[in-house]
Amino acid sequence: MTLAGPTEARRGEELGKEMHNFMVELYPICRSITGEGVRETIRAIRKRIPLEMHEVPSGTKVFDWTVPLEWNVIDAYVMNREKERVIDFKAHNLHLMSYSAPVRKKMFLAELSPHLFTLPDHPEWIPYRTSYYKENWGFCLRHADLERLIDDEYEVVIDSSLRPGSLTYGEFYLPGEISDEILVSCHVCHPSLCNDNLSGITVAVKLAETVATRPRRYSYRFLFIPGTIGSITWLAQNEQIVSRIKHGLVLTGVGDAGNITYKKSRRGNAEIDRAMAHVLRHSGESHTVIDFFPYGYDERQYCSPGFDLPVGCFMRAPHGQYPEYHSSADDLDFVKTDSLAQSYTRCLRVFEVLEGNRTYMNQNPKCEPQLGRRGLYRAVAGQQEKQWTELALFWVLNGSDGHHTLLDIAERADLPFGKIQSAAEVLLEVGLLKECRISGST
């Protein structure tokens, strides 16, 4: 499934625009790892998918971590003697270092300077800085604006609060025929940043909307969580059901103009890793598949050795490898509608492969069955790629020994999964195949 045909291209364009519009709605919200910004974001998502909003109290022990105090901010600025706001949180969320402690003090530039952060190589961009687990405060600004600050006294105000409250996350669970799950996880803790944060959210929401309308074998769980502490908290509070997760994807940075990058799970050859590599290889698009490494997003927690879940990370340009990363240049223009649509389509295709990846037994395993007598050639004669389909029939018959899945067969045949799957459907209809039920999953 590619977005190549004119109808599909148009549909892709519409999908991309729809996802981008949702990003426009979420962009102004000041998110952090806790606080009202996360709640507002979860409420906006809830208008599209009926997810549950969970609140975990500050101070809750989650493995080696503790749920932090809740951070909220009303206003923050640096004002000069002329009562002009030379740095103003209300002009851009990124101006305030996330989790800044409250401050209300007059100070000279020398005292203020250690709390100011800029990007000298990109003087027109505002950097994104946080200080979650060490109390501090700070402002981020354009380097060009810093250079304009004169050595004088300034009024510094951060009207924020760090109080016992809770960590908020959203969870959307869609039951399927079996309790085995496909997990989709994305972070919701970055303020006005588009690729690193909002792109993952919008693609996850669109996937959830689509999956909800389809018949499905697997159950699906979509998590909208603050990075690191959110996945640690979810894993700590749901340890008893973690074994149901059979496949998972962390979605991040899925809207930039770069090619798709897939980072494999720690296991390296999990079904999700193979399904993703297969879909990308047959997409005909440039892409990269990289091995797991213990740095990046929440795959670090899902793939920690105590869990070792089959969860990979789906992204485009890897984080830190594009200059706009963690700066105000990661804005609404940086994310491309066609990239969003393509990311969505590829993930959905992977779900289709996982859903259809069954194991069959050839009911006529001794020599080839006589296909012509069963009208099989005629059944596929109208299709343009007849040769391929016939070849797929032979591959499915030969590979269906009760030990190999359709993905195993597709890989060995080097044919797209869809061809192998349709061949299996045809063979099932005429009774030449029987599905081998996997025990233990209900």
- The residues binding Zn ion (CB under 5 A) are 196
Q: How far is the CB of 190 from Zn ion (least distance, A)?
A: 6
Question: Would you say 97 or 280 has its CB closer to Zn ion?
Answer: 97
- Report the residue number whose CB is nearest to Zn ion: 196
- Least distance to Zn ion from the beta carbon of 374, Å? 56
Could you tell me which of 31, 19, 59 has the C-alpha nearest to residue 332? 19
| CB closer to Zn ion, 180 vs 196 | 196
Residues 6 or more apart from 313 whose CB is under 8 A from it?
Answer: 249, 250, 252, 262, 263, 296, 297, 299
Residue 140 CB, nearest distance to Zn ion (Å)? 14
Cα–Cα distance for residue pair 335/339, rounded to 1 Å: 8
Task: Name which of 29 and 78 has its Cβ closer to Zn ion.
Answer: 29
Q: What is the closest distance, in whole angstroms, from the C-beta atom of residue 236 to Zn ion in the complex?
A: 22
- Identify each DSSP E strand in 242-322 by its residue range: 245-251, 260-263, 287-290, 311-315
Minimum distance, C-beta of residue 330 to Zn ion, in the bound complex (Å): 9
Can you tell me the distance from the alpha carbon of 326 to that of 127, in angstroms, rounded to the nearest whole number?
6
Q: Closer CB to Zn ion, residue 228 or residue 405?
A: 228
Look-up of token digits 């060995």: 412
How would you class 128 by CB atoms within 10 Å of its CB: exposed for 0-12, middle for 13-18, buried for 19 or more? Answer: buried
Q: How far is the CB of 109 from Zn ion (least distance, A)?
A: 30
Quote the CA–CA distance of 252 and 229 in Å, as a whole number: 16
Distance CA(366)–CA(368), nearest Å, equals 7
- Looking at beta carbons only, is 99 or 360 nearer to Zn ion? 99
User: Rounded to the nearest whole angstrom, what is the least distance from the CB of residue 215 to Zn ion in the complex?
Assistant: 36
For residues 327 and 92, give the distance between their C-alpha atoms in angstroms, rounded to a whole number: 11
**Distances in whole angstroms, Cα of residue 326 to Cα of each of 45, 146, 229, 309:** 23, 19, 19, 28
**Between the CA of residue 108 and those of 84, 112, 115, 158, what are the distances in Å?**
16, 6, 12, 16
Task: Tell me whether residue 226 or residue 356 sits nearer to Zn ion (CB atom).
Answer: 226
User: What single DSSP character describes residue 259?
Assistant: P
CB of 219 to Zn ion, least distance (A): 29
Residue 192 or 219 having the CB closest to Zn ion = 192
Which CB atom, from 78 or from 317, has the smaller least distance to Zn ion?
A: 317
